[in-house]
Structures are given as structure tokens and as C-alpha cells.
Amino acid sequence: MVFDLTGKRAVVTGAGSGIGRAIAAVFARQGASVAILDLDQAAARRSADEIRAAGGRADAFACDVGDAGQVADAMRRAAGGGRLDILVNNAGISHVGTVESTTEEDLDRLYRVNVKSVFLCTRAAIPMMLAQGAGVILNMASIASLIGIPERFAYGMSKGAVHTMTMSVAVDYVKRNIRCNCICPARVHTPFVDQYLARSYAGREREVFQELSAYQPIGRMGTPEEVAHLALYLCSDEASFVTGQAYPIDGGVLVS
């Protein structure tokens, strides 16, 4: 089977919904045993239950990925016997605002969830990967880490950090058989988008949804499954020559 993950143990953060949920499901279909980490324990359990109902293997762990103690404990438990083949740092939050409208609290919150979590989870994973002689780390960045996007000051800052951490880990561990890449999506239609529209544009959801979709020259948002299939490739042995790269999946944004 191409992109076979049979026998591999994968940890996916923020897999209670959206892109993380799709990644966990795709990995499980390809044979991986998946550990789902999410702040929302009920959502994590629902994702794990869906995977098991489809014949896959999955466990759910409640974890605040911005808390060092919780990360260390959850990663230890998720790795079971100490084996961890794949880590997907997917958990993240968004923010809309310029430098003027971004508060100190906004910046700290974005840093804690989008940046510090990648550091904490990666720091917990690397020793296990070194002990077993191999591993793959995949981070969820954004096209906001590659170009400027209006009113995404704090978000772009956080995803730029994810991008540069990716390159740093890749170069530090390239001789130790640990690969590290990141994915840079444009807008992806997740429950977060629908919640944001309902909260911020009540009564105009359809109109604004079309505007957000039209930002991508291809004329629509991406789907979580499309991102998940790119993640599958990057975490599979078929991508064993790929490290330190930022992969856009953007519906043509960067070439427009």
C-alpha cells in the first residue's frame, strides 16, 4: 500500500475537530495507531470513537498544549511504550487584527497556543525519536508565514515562528534521521470558519463566506481532507527525502 503507516504511532494535536481530526482519520485508515490530543476532551473522544468505529486504532487525551506539565504527561501517555514515529503539531488558534488593534493579551494568547505548544510537543517528542533512531515531525503553519495578509498581525507572527522552528529542527536533526516539515494552508473550511462567521457577521454569513472563498484564485476554500492527504505524504516513507520544507496548499494564492 502506498503511504502505508502500518505499525507507526502518531500523535496529532488539536485533533478534536477540523484539520487535525481529518489528519487523524486519514492516518488511521493508512494503518497508524493515533493518539489524539485536544483541550476539549469530549471532542477528542468523539474523534477517537469515529476512528475506532471505522476499524482504526485511536486514543484520546485531554491536553492544554501550552502547558509544559500537561504536554509532558500527555506525550508520555500517548507514546505508550515509549515509541513515537510521527508528531503533527496541528493545534492552533486564529486572530483578526492589525498591530494597533492587537492587545498584549491577544499576542500572548497566540504565542502560547501557536508557538509555545510546538516547542513543548517537539521537545517532548525528540528524545523518543532519537532513542528509536527515526521520526517525523509535521507542523501546521500557514500562507501567513510566507506572505503578508491584511489584519493578521499576531496570527502571521505566530505562524512565521512555526515556519522558522520547522527549518531549525530539520537542520539540527537531519543527521539523526528525524525529518521536520510544515504545511502552509490558505483558508480551509472548518467548523471554526462557520463559528467565526456566525459570531462576527450574523445575517451576512453567506455573503462573507463567498468573499473568503474568492480570496483563493481557485474560487473556494480548501477542505480538511485535502490538507490531511498532504500531511499523509509528508509523514510517510515516500517522503523520506523531504525535510525542512514549507508546503503551500493555497488554491493559487501564491501565484496570483
Give the whole-angstrom CA distance, residue 121 versus residue 43. Answer: 20
| 170-194 average pLDDT score | 97
Cβ atoms < 10 Å from Cβ of 54: 11
Statement: the pTM of the whole predicted model exceeds 0.85: yes
Question: What are the beta bridge partners of residue 61?
Answer: 37
pLDDT tens digits along 33-59: 999 999 999 999 999 999 999 999 999
Active-site residue 155, yes or no? yes
Question: What residues contact residue 53 under an 8 Å CB cut-off, 6+ apart?
Answer: none
pLDDT tens digits along 196-220: 899 989 999 999 999 999 999 999 9
What is the per-residue pLDDT for 256? 85
What is the per-residue pLDDT for 231? 98
pLDDT at 82 over 90: no
What is the per-residue pLDDT for 45? 98
CATH of 9-185+225-241, one of 3.90.1170.50, 3.40.190.10, 3.40.50.720, 3.30.60.50: 3.40.50.720
Nearest alpha-carbon partner for 242 in 252, 232, 251, 250: 232
The active-site residue out of 155, 196, 233, 247 is: 155
- Cα three-residue angle 113-117-121, rounded to 5 degrees: 160
Radius of gyration of the chain from its Cα atoms, rounded to whole angstroms:
17
Its sign, for the CA torsion 40, 41, 46, 52, is positive
| 74-98 average pLDDT score | 94
pLDDT at 161 over 80: yes
What is the per-residue pLDDT for 80? 80
Domain ranges of the chain: 9-185+225-241, 188-221
What is the per-residue pLDDT for 2? 94
